[in-house]
Amino acid sequence: MKIINLEVFIANPGKNDLDDSFSESIKYFGKNLIFIKLETDIGITGWGECYSQTDRDTQITSHVEKLKKYVINYNPMNIRNFILGAERDFANKRPSMDFWCAVSGIEIAMWDILGKYYEQPVFNLLGGKIRERIKVYANGWATSLEEEELSKNALEMVNKRGFKALKFDPFTGPWEDWPENEILFEAAKRVGVVRESVGPNVDILIEVHRRLAVSKAQIFTKEIEKYRPFWIEEPCISENIDSIKEVKDITHIPIVTGEALYSRNMFRDVFQKRAADIINPDICNTGGILELINISSMAETFSIGVSPHGWNSTGIGASAAIQVSSVINNFIIYEYMVHVEEFSQKITKNHPIVEDSFIEIKNLPGLGTEILENELTFNETSNKRNFGNLT
């Protein structure tokens, strides 16, 4: 079996056409989605997804295009060799986020091909599942941080959708390392609003997005302990593992890091220094299915849990993460982006179904889902994010 074609699709809610030059700006729900399609000489097609980031689509898709000549006429069964060749020979052991996003999308598509070839779900090729369903938390649900709207949004997720865990970022404005303490206390107050709204039995997960200096993260962390959050995610930059450990050492709240770390090599210090209680690697940027399993196995030896990051589609990206989440011992919970769900359902066959904060694991070949190409849309905009402190 050989791969005979590789296609890249970039999509967002918009026009019924695709821009061949790819996007340079952010769209609709915060970014574009990047899908990989691999076709084989025996008629089997595999789908994968690359993590994407605001205004960085071209860097990721360019890596895919450059890898294409190595993938054409390649046997998709040789996944380990693909990862070896991509990191060692293509990247010369100088990888980046953009590189790992590209590799992840291609690797996931190869696993989809293998599952379809053997007529087995990917989890069976990984040794078989150890759970029938996986727990998920809702993210992307807060349309506003105003107290009344925040409370309303949280209650809708719990009462109408049945979610038992909600994540949100309680900070407003630009990301500042050293914000005034008043900003920290306002953010903490929003955590309290959500806790009061949903009651004591719903888990609240707090996202900080790597924004705070150590002392500011410590002040914020102590301020929200009374609301019993399930975790605090990335209080400080992940390049400084020691800073994250300093926050972990002053609180009983579990500390999370990992979405901005790529491949097992970048997780080594997290484990050895016991800098986090839980890691949240993203299957679409950390190397794909096999690498996420390797990272999870490493974490398990240090009694560290795994909650895969999920800022991808709730179709292909989520389905890949579901395969791994069903087989790893130290899985805790998966991130489900509710604001991407409607578009993902439109473009995806056999989209995962969330019921009462759980997704039942399907026994379908490969990832169990695939992209409906004729439903893909793209809309170019000139939207810009906040940029620096000056205009």
Residues with catalytic annotation?
209, 309
- In this structure, the dihedral spanned by the alpha carbons of residues 194, 195, 199 and 200, taken in order and rounded to 10 degrees, is 150
Q: Which residues contact 104 (CB under 8 A, 6 or more apart)?
A: 48, 49, 50, 51, 283, 284, 285, 286, 287, 288, 291
Helix (H) or strand (E) holding 167, with range, is strand 165-168
Distant-in-sequence, close-in-space partners of 382: CB < 8 Å, separation ≥ 6: 25
Q: Do the Cβ atoms of 284 and 105 come closer than 8 Å?
A: yes
Integer CA distances (angstroms), 195 to 9, 248, 339, in order: 40, 22, 21
Helices (DSSP H) in the chain: which residue ranges? 57-71, 79-84, 97-118, 122-125, 147-155, 181-198, 214-224, 241-248, 268-272, 289-300, 316-325, 338-347
CA–CA gap between residue 354 and residue 380 (Å, rounded) = 31
